[in-house]
Structure 1
Amino acid sequence: MPLGYGALLMNLKFKNMKKLALTLLVPLTAFSALAQNKKTVKKTSPASKTAAVAIKNGLDSASYAFGTSMAANLKNNGLDHLNYDLFVKGLKDAFGDKALLLPKEKSQAAINNLFVEASKKKFAPAIAEGKAFLENNKKVAGIKTTPSGLQYQVLQAGSGAKPLATDTVLVHYKGTLLNGKQFDSSYDRKEPISFPLNRVIPGWTEGVQLMEQGSKYKFFIPYNLAYGERGAGQDIPPYSTLIFEVELLKINGK
């Protein structure tokens, strides 16, 4: 299914969803001590091993299930270990209403930073591919690069006015990944779309303002000006550098 207008909206929603998902995924206080000590948990010696645990009742089952479910979600997001002693301390402190080692804001920041680091590690090949592509692409004749890192090529010059960020514009477009896979196209739907220019990804907000009405540009958008570490749905992976062909049909004003 084409992403359409939803794929072009500025991914503020994704960032809000990220915070909500992290908050629901693990209690903030469970990670309170994580920022204090990011060292991996040390292997215990045989003498310090605790007795084997056993599931005896419903609470035991649910407690173990919480751990396995939480770990599975964390692994899916790129984490492969925690400081388990501090993790358990965070749980006990929260349940025991004890003074926390970190306030809520710092806890959330620690979680977000850890996930960003893990995500960058997980998607390092995609980041490297995008960087290499843009480095080579800026050497191609006709490619221009803005201070932000956005690259563009004029496919067809226009003669009309240029839009402002506060304008609503009518465009035709198609978007592809670096491997050539198309993830969206208004041409295929045979219907252009209209949207406020300040409500789309940064690469579009900046790029379309360079266009004159009636022109057609090709944009090469680094991940930080596109959908960043979150990506967009199943069609645009995290840290994707994107290529768009955009035709500015009309400027509708504010």
Structure 2
Amino acid sequence: MSTLWGKMYDIRAPYNVRGGEISCLRVVRGFSIESWQKDTISDCPPRAGATRPRCPTPTLFRKFYDRGEFPIMIDQNCNGKAILWKVPPEKLDYHHYLPLFFDGLREIEHPYAMFARQGIHDMLVHGCDKVLPVVPQLIRPLREALNTRCPPILKATLHALQQLIVSAPKVGECLVPYYRQLLPVLNIFKNRNLNLGDMIEYGQYKRENIGDLIQETLELMERYGGEDAFINIKYMVPTYESVCLN
């Protein structure tokens, strides 16, 4: 509290001085009728929270894994923990298993995260022609993983999306109609790079920088998406510049 002209005022509140009198300003909502009244000050607008991480919802991958319905197990070897397949990945039903593994991208706990990400890698490597028919079923888990806006989940999802694009012919072109569902979050995080001056950012070496991963993903989408890829990317990410036309 502070004393001025014999009156007590709270020093933490904004004041208005008129004719030797001091009046405390009342904080009101911005763009409201009250903001036009005297002795008022507009409150700062709330943060939009576009980059705020969302809490991931429970995944079907965890439910199926706890039931023991996946033909996988942990292989303890000299190189650490890895996946041991009870059935060769190329013999699996991709319409059933691949969307479930992509749904596991939202997992960040062990061993669910390790199984989901390594399982995606192995199935895309051995899938060949089985991957293309399943692409429409992968859009929903990819969108939900990107919408979490959680950095570890974003990194894993971008790595999986890059591998999906190059896993089989025509997959990149098949993804073009779904750019409106996948690219809004990429547009938000496209410029999330740290300005460290002359210091070294080791995240670039480990391929963990979100801004660089998004740029790599957009370039792969343009290269493998056919002639309509660039115009659709440009519509959703206005700051993207073509690497094929330039």
**TM tier relative to shorter chain:** under 0.3
Give the structure, 1 or 2, with the largest relative contact order (CA under 8 Å, sep 6 or more).
Answer: 1
TM-score (norm 1): 0.22
If each structure's strand is expressed as a fraction of its own residues, which one has the higher value?
A: 1
